[in-house]
Amino acid sequence: MQESNNKQGAYLLGIGTAVPDYSYSQDFALEFNLGIEGTTERQKKFMRRIYAGSAIEKRHSVIADYGRDPADYSFFPPTQSLKPEPTTQERNDLFIREANRLSALAVEDLFARLGKKDTHDITHLITISCTGFSAPGFDFHLARELELPAATRRYHIGFMGCYAALTGMSLAHSICKAEPGARVLMVNVELCSVHFQQRDDLDTMVANAIFADGASAALIVTDPPEADTAVLAFDSFNSQILPDSEEDMAWRVGNTGFTMKLSAYVPRIINENLDDILKGILKKSGRRHGDIDIWAVHPGGKAILEKIEEALQLDPEELSVSYEVLRDYGNMSSVTIMFVLQRILADSREGNVLAIAFGPGLTVETGFMRKISRP
């Protein structure tokens, strides 16, 4: 287990978000998948069960083809079978265009929430994504679009998966420890739907049922704001790899998009290990379970949230924000926990926050924070 902590301040002042223009209900997504030519009765039976139990109502996508006739498709080939599938390059080209656009929209939303009108004081830019890449990437596009100072330090956290936002916040925390006066802009973009593929394997069908697109932006600084506003004061971040779970969740580059390995055992593995991990983290930090006032859990899926409730003996109400984000947006990979934290910042609660996210490896990332209105 690795841990980073700091006595010097690091404050998350606000979170902005953005989603693509296109959205669809979970019922519509199911019908779209059932209508793909070549889908077997076995696949249809499995999909009906997965979609019905997903606890998701709506998702967003950068792909405009959902709801169109095949003849009008602009991304998929104009066939009912969606064959031949778009290549990895074609998918990544779409990612590049839309990541540039959505990242800027998320920052625009952040600055509007903070009443911030210029970017001359930004010292560091952290960008995060596991669903596409290029060099120069959307970090370069943002630096130019926002007219960031030429000396702004840029970091990109790539291909780490759903927990990467906590990795990014840990990096921002370390920067703030090392450089008083640092002002770190952290931007996540995940366009999971770009990698939609019609496959017979259960892993792909589950991924198609839960993943979605979104973007977030956060500003982390060393000095607390003077205004009476809610912020998240960072305390410590931890990372741990679960034993014998490397192949239970994986994300790899294929010829026609990125491919997901998502074992049905993932919720059980998390359930069996999370309590011991949390006990170790709490002991190391001198805290108890009862010291946690607010739980910010990455809603990787309904089954995962239920297993977390069971492992940590939580009431469903304690994870209500996670369930709400899952319902309204689905799983947007690393972006999702930022949507959760945004809602936590907006509600009336204060106190100790524990953020938890999971990803390939299996890796568990946690972050202790404190939500306060007067830093």
Provide the 10 A C-beta neighbour count for residue 254. Answer: 14
Report the chain's terminal Cα–Cα distance, integer Å: 30
For residue 164, what are the contacts with CB-CB under 8 A and spacing of at least 6? 128, 130, 157, 188, 333, 334, 359
- Tell me the pairing of strands 351-359 and 363-372: antiparallel
Write 274-283 long-range contacts (CB < 8 A, 24+): 274/308, 274/311, 274/312, 274/356, 274/364, 275/311, 275/312, 277/1, 277/240, 277/364, 277/366, 278/312, 278/366, 280/1, 281/1, 281/3, 281/238, 281/366
Active site residue 162: yes
Q: 350 near 373, Cβ under 8 Å?
A: yes
Q: 110 near 69, Cβ under 8 Å?
A: no
What span, in angstroms and rounded, lies between the C-alpha atoms of 99 and 129? 9
What span, in angstroms and rounded, lies between the C-alpha atoms of 245 and 268? 11
3-state secondary structure of 94: helix
Q: Tokens representing 308?
A: 């977390």
What span, in angstroms and rounded, lies between the C-alpha atoms of 238 and 48? 38
Q: Tokens representing 40?
A: 């077997």
- Which alpha helices (H) appear in 54-148, and where do they start and end? 88-114, 138-145
- Tell me the pairing of strands 11-18 and 22-25: unpaired
3-state secondary structure of 159: coil
Catalytic residues: 162
